[in-house]
Structure 1
Amino acid sequence: MADTANPFLTPSPLPYQLPPFAEIRDEHYRPAFDRGFQEQLAEVQAIADSPDEPTFENTMLALERSGQVLQRVAEVFFNKSSSDSTDFTNALEEEIAPLLSAHQDAIRLNPALYARIQRLHERRHDLGLAPEGVYLIERYYTEFTLAGAGLDDEQKERLRDYNQRLSTLTTRFEKNLLADTNELAVVFDSADELDGLGEGELSAAAEAARERGLDGKYVVTLVLPTGHPWLANLTDRRSRERIMAASRSRGIRGGEHDNRELVLEITRLRAERARLLGFDTHAAFVTADETARTPEAVADMLGRLAPPAARNARAEQAALQQQLGDGETVESWDWAKLTDAVRQATYDVDFAAMRPYFEAERVLRDGVFYAATKLYGITFEERPDLVAYHPEARVFEVRNEDGSGLGLYILDLYTRDSKRGGAWMNPLISQSELLDYPTVVVNNLNVPKPAAGEPTLLTYDETNTLFHEFGHALHGLFARVTYPKFAGTNVFRDFVEFPSQVNEMWMLWPEVVANYAVHHETGERMPQELIDKLHASESFNEGFATSEYLAAALLDQAWHRITADDTVTDVAAFEAEALAAVGLDNPAVPPRYASTYFAHTFSGGYDAGYYSYIWSEVLDADTVEWFKENGGLTRANGDRFRDRLLGVGGSKDPLEAYRDFRGRDAVIEPLLKRRGLDS
């Protein structure tokens, strides 16, 4: 295919190099991947074969400039395969996954290239480089070493086989999960079965049914976690049970979408690969290059939190039991509904009553964007002239206070069968001075779409999720680095959630919530009394929330602390034993994700790393205290946070960046207080 016919082969001429989605066709992807693989391997081999003494310019900078075609097509394709998959993208992803793994291995396991990086690493402090340049050498050396660059040829061949097989299996896991999630969407014959839902929710359920050719019925689509936001509202206990049963049966029904054998094979291969690389377990391999450094450090922290969280959950369960009649027991599908009743009785907080105040457009413009403008001085202008990858995805231009361009922000709000579950941020173009690249980032959520003409009313959790994911987007937009390796959110995995968690604090910040929380029909602002009650109930139900999260995090650790000599044959039995070992085997409080639909750990890149959320929350809670102590939503505070943390991307050790911002290391006490674990 000629260069002029394939939009991936040259930089986009659009503003901020936005990919030319209107021109991209299915037939462009595979040729661009093939060209990208070929070009980068040639570029890397030229570096490795150079007879010249290795220098920062002819080795590190040459590496950083390599692979631009591959980067362009990969960012676009994997965003599409996650947010708007088709039979074509599913098939191509299964083809590409092992090829991409082999390509990465061809670079990282190249002995001549590794030797050049080693020589630069030995004299990195004598090269007259700025700190970012020294850190670039250190990161390449560490990553290549951990990736197996020092293995002998036979070991490298085994490693390549492990990597390619794992890439295929994790891709298959994700596709199975999406298919099973769609198949298990729960069909209801009448609105009576969904009593308790608001008009917007019923409209979304009817629209989901209509899209499936089930006019007159109602379909409740599943979300990625075990629970479902509508369980808190449904009055029909049988309806709640049906939704929970469908959610928990993903990947365990037998047939082509069963994920149990994949879980067993993935964890076995990861353990064998870890031993080949010199580690006892996959968890040890992963944490060696995270801020945690060892699985023992992770176990120590999670072990401090699990017992008080389990005790709090049991106490909450006892209070919920009083809401039921004789002979009835609190089940997992009852928890959200009963919790809402207790919350209303104790704190007079009704989350359902808040939804009319959380109209999506106002939340976005007068909440999320407003807070960012007040804090950082940036502004947002929608660009309908710029075409995104899906008709529902909206493009916004982001500018600094002085009018200079910062980047593009794309929001893809609504759920659809072609989109995987959950919420996330992806980069499409990542800033770097070396390549003179700008920034384009995407936020994906899974909000049910109401019928045409109906308002999109967010739940409390969906509103919080939008603030959270926008925190990732700000991290990507603000990072200003020299080298592509450090662009955007390219930081340690157990640090990457920190900026997004901090951004959640602005959801209920007085000035922000007063600006966006307006009743979509009456125009009245959310009563301050309701907001005060929300704050008073902040630690309510934290036993459940912490326990369901920790159960998943500890389950992830358990799977990845098995050794290559261990034999696991039964997924359900392994889960039960792992949860019992830490006292989190409460049937009424299931893990946020069970193994067969644990996308984070079996297809999402958080393997042995799901602990990252609460690990990062230590920094988050400590940072929230700093903002409160220093005046909150001010430009001075925003500039400090932007300059010393968000703006550095991955160009320095993240804990060093945190100390630079905070003036000290983080302490855990604010987190314990937030989650009600300090007593």
Structure 2
Amino acid sequence: MNKAIPFLALALIIAACNDSKEKEKTNLSEEQMDNTENPLLSESTLPYGAPNFSKIKDENFKPAMLEGIEQQKNAVETIANSEEEPTFDNTVLALEKSGELLNRSSEIFYTLAGANTNETLQSVEEEMAPKFAAQNDMIYLNEKLFKRFKTLHDKKETLNLEAESLKLLEEYYEDFEIAGANLSSEDKEKLKVYNEKIATLTTKFGKTLLDANNAGAVTFMNKEDLAGVDEDFLKSKENKDGKGWTIPLQNTTQQPLLQSMENRASREKLYKAAWHRADQGANDTRELIKELVEVRAQKAKLLGFNNYAEWSLQKTMAKTPENVNKFFSGLIPAATTKAQAESDEIQKMIKSKGQDFKLEPWDWNYYAEMVRKEKYDLDENQIKPYFELKNVLEKGVFYAANKLYGITYKPRTDIPTYHEDVFVYELFEENGDALGLFYADFFARPSKSGGAWMSNFVTQSKLYNKKPVIYNVLNIPKPAGNEPALLTYDEVSTMFHEFGHALHGFFADQQYPSLSGTAVARDFVEFPSQFNENWALYPEILKNYALHYKTGEQIPQQLIDKIKNSGTFNQGYSLTENLAGSNLDMQWHTISPDKKIEDVNAFEKQALSNTKLDLVHAVPPRYRSTYFSHIFAGGYAAGYYSYSWTEMLHHDAYNWFENNGGLTRENGQRFRDMVLSKGNTLNLEKMYKDWRGSDPKIQPMLKARGLK
């Protein structure tokens, strides 16, 4: 997932999907608020302008961001009240340059808020969310400022702007219109209230969910309850007093341990803890959801739309909720049909084991693994020894990037990081020129949100002569002691995925930061990342990194064949759970402004029934509404469909590679030049078509999923 902080640091707060915060009570005194020695107020002197975490303290963020807000306010007032005739330089470029301090400080802040939070940072996050929303309104609802942009936009053909500058003007103008610049003064004041409320609620949802994940962790006191679970994993989860093992919750509905837990009662206990984590007690998110969707619907109505999704999808490839639903209508029947066939197969496996119970969601992964072993003779524990973390990254992810794009790397141990588990690499072009810095933060911890994401500390731009500083965050369980970190294939795929986002950022070649790299529509931004997953199983890449951690032996062809042959296994389940989440999102955000939701669980149940995504009893949605952080705490409201939309793009794109020589330096360079380096400077549909030679087709996706 891409979590680049948007321009102007809008309050699309990093999703808090998993794990709990570390308790660290720090009250900021007036003396601590003094900015005289605040390292965030000036650019870092480290290579590439990387954040100097050896100097940055929690108490630095709030005053730096407040100062950034004030500086931008002053700059905007100067632009808006200027008596000079508006020009690109004194209006568009001036606004582009107005938020430098705010962007720099907030990008670092939201990194820690998502990856290494504490009570101080959470408090600042809650306080700043409505301020960021107000800052956004201060710009986009400013009548004088909009008038200057409209003057320029109306005569854009006569301005003789080069292509990227013209695109910047158009993007700003469209953002003004979408934000409500054409509303009356009275309606703008109403909108400001809605925006502040939304920012506050999304931040509160994220914090509540982080607490819910922590409180929902399941403790097992008897080792027999954890029969089948990997011993090394258990060592890492043993309680400090030696009494029992506490299993933290992952952000998704299904939990990884359900695949190996032999005790059915234990599986049910863990699954239900995940399912009910945020619908009871102090961490119940249901009232927040009801209020949030209602405010979003009212905002959409005020802006002249029938629902929030209509408003939100304006700058996407899909454009309308109807187009999204049309896309899904071609997938749901095939997905649920295959999921039902998988369910029947698993039910037979249960019976063959002498058991007589109906397949439930907490049974699926355990017995599906048995089916996989029987059909494909593939055991996850057979392949994990070949997927040691550093090998996967350096000899897999980086090696693929070298073969496709020519980039090389070297570790940098001299760059301070925000946590001891984070390590840093410097990346170089094929000719040796510097490309940027890459931070890898791969291990789960209580202070980190769940899931995986990419974002920037420093965004590429020629305007500021900046090269990118980018980080990837994952949540791989940290092994005990000096044991090696051995990955599942899913974790391998996730590492390739997130580095695909990173490549999109590293290859950015834009003048302006707000058009740079991953600053594209939600239903395009996941395309480069999903596409990069394809190289994880590419023979030349796989054989280079899949080395046994003890013997160094290359993964045998027999295991490779098993992995590939099982590639379409469980795809009915996988696609159905994703479609269920996507449709929940779309139904929450196509609610009429006149409709009031009384019961979140009842709405969810009806939503799944409406789209026939409840036909297979044992396939739950990937996220329930109550812990759907992407849409209620992150930036994916009415946008979760983008994962499936971009899956269509990435399979279609890989099909082009397969038909044109596969993994070659020439193909990689062409993809970089025509897609990965373009940021948001071109129409995305045209960009893709120019590279591909045609519009994307859904057939490669269906084939890859085994649905065709």
TM-score, with structure 2 as normaliser: 0.93
Q: Which residue of 1 aligns with 2:681?
A: 651
Aligned counterparts of 1:582 and 1:104: Cα–Cα separation in 2: 36
Q: How many Å apart are 1:527 and its aligned residue?
A: 1.3
| 1:315 lines up with 2:341 in the alignment | yes
Q: Which residue of 2 aligns with 1:186?
A: 218
Aligned counterparts of 1:486 and 1:94: Cα–Cα separation in 2: 28
Alignment of 1:339-358 (within 5 A): 339-358=368-387
**Gapped regions of structure 2 (runs ≥ 5):** 1-32
Superimposed CA distance per residue, residues 251-281 of structure 1 (whole angstroms, 9 cap, x where no aligned partner): 10122x1100011111000000000011000
Aligned counterparts of 2:233 and 2:691: Cα–Cα separation in 1: 43
Q: Which residue of 2 aligns with 1:394?
A: 423
Q: Which residue of 2 aligns with 1:135?
A: 167
Q: Which of 573, 579, 589 pairs up with 1:544?
A: 573
Q: Which residue of 2 aligns with 1:242?
A: 269
Q: Which of 228, 236, 257 pairs up with 1:204?
A: 236
| 1:519 lines up with 2:544 in the alignment | no
Q: Which residue of 1 aligns with 2:252?
A: 225
| 1:168 lines up with 2:200 in the alignment | yes
Equivalent pair of 1:191/1:202 in contact (CA under 8 Å)? no
Q: Which residue of 2 aligns with 1:676?
A: 706
Two-structure CA RMSD over aligned residues (Å):
1.2
Q: Which residue of 2 aligns with 1:40?
A: 72
Equivalent pair of 2:456/2:469 in contact (CA under 8 Å)? yes
**Gapped regions of structure 1 (runs ≥ 5):** none
Q: How many Å apart are 1:577 and its aligned residue?
A: 0.4
Q: Which residue of 2 aligns with 1:253?
A: 280
| 1:533 lines up with 2:565 in the alignment | no
SS in 1 for 2:523: coil
Q: How many Å apart are 1:431 and its aligned residue?
A: 0.7
Superimposed CA distance per residue, residues 351-379 of structure 1 (whole angstroms, 9 cap, x where no aligned partner): 22211111111111111111111111111
Q: Which of 60, 64, 68 pairs up with 2:92?
A: 60
Superimposed CA distance per residue, residues 132-174 of structure 1 (whole angstroms, 9 cap, x where no aligned partner): 1111111111111000011111100010000001101100101
- Counterpart amino acid of 1:219? T
SS in 2 for 1:494: helix
Aligned counterparts of 1:284 and 1:133: Cα–Cα separation in 2: 28
Superimposed CA distance per residue, residues 205-243 of structure 1 (whole angstroms, 9 cap, x where no aligned partner): 22xx33xxx424222111111111221112111221111
Aligned counterparts of 1:191 and 1:423: Cα–Cα separation in 2: 30
SS in 2 for 1:288: helix
Superimposed CA distance per residue, residues 474-533 of structure 1 (whole angstroms, 9 cap, x where no aligned partner): 111111101111122100011100000000001100011101111112222211111112
Q: How many Å apart are 1:3 and its aligned residue?
A: 6.0
Aligned counterparts of 1:309 and 1:393: Cα–Cα separation in 2: 39
Q: Which of 573, 587, 604 pairs up with 2:602?
A: 573
| 1:582 lines up with 2:611 in the alignment | yes
Q: Which of 588, 592, 605 pairs up with 2:622?
A: 592
TM-score, with structure 1 as normaliser: 0.97
Q: How many Å apart are 1:650 and its aligned residue?
A: 1.4
Equivalent pair of 1:184/1:247 in contact (CA under 8 Å)? yes
| 1:153 lines up with 2:185 in the alignment | yes
Aligned counterparts of 1:182 and 1:575: Cα–Cα separation in 2: 24
Once the two structures are overlaid, the 10-residue window that deviates more, 216-225 or 568-577, is: 216-225
SS in 1 for 2:510: coil
| 1:609 lines up with 2:639 in the alignment | yes
Aligned counterparts of 1:587 and 1:447: Cα–Cα separation in 2: 30
Q: Which residue of 1 aligns with 2:315?
A: 289
Aligned counterparts of 1:200 and 1:375: Cα–Cα separation in 2: 36
Q: How many Å apart are 1:197 and its aligned residue?
A: 2.3
Alignment of 1:428-443 (within 5 A): 428-443=457-472
Equivalent pair of 2:35/2:63 in contact (CA under 8 Å)? no
Aligned counterparts of 1:190 and 1:399: Cα–Cα separation in 2: 51
Aligned counterparts of 1:300 and 1:254: Cα–Cα separation in 2: 39
- Counterpart amino acid of 1:148? G
Q: Which residue of 2 aligns with 1:555?
A: 584
Q: How many Å apart are 1:643 and its aligned residue?
A: 1.0
- Counterpart amino acid of 2:686? E
- Counterpart amino acid of 1:290? T
Equivalent pair of 2:35/2:60 in contact (CA under 8 Å)? no
- Counterpart amino acid of 1:632? G
Q: How many Å apart are 1:180 and its aligned residue?
A: 0.9
Equivalent pair of 1:84/1:418 in contact (CA under 8 Å)? yes
Aligned counterparts of 2:645 and 2:278: Cα–Cα separation in 1: 29
Q: How many Å apart are 1:204 and its aligned residue?
A: 2.5
Q: Which residue of 1 aligns with 2:407?
A: 378
Aligned counterparts of 1:676 and 1:355: Cα–Cα separation in 2: 25
Superimposed CA distance per residue, residues 527-581 of structure 1 (whole angstroms, 9 cap, x where no aligned partner): 1111112222211211100100000000000100101101211011001101011
Aligned counterparts of 2:528 and 2:82: Cα–Cα separation in 1: 41
Query: Bigger relative contact order, structure 1 or 2, given CA contacts below 8 A and separation 6+?
Result: 2
- Counterpart amino acid of 2:291? E
Aligned counterparts of 1:111 and 1:327: Cα–Cα separation in 2: 69
Q: How many Å apart are 1:9 and its aligned residue?
A: 1.1
SS in 1 for 2:113: helix
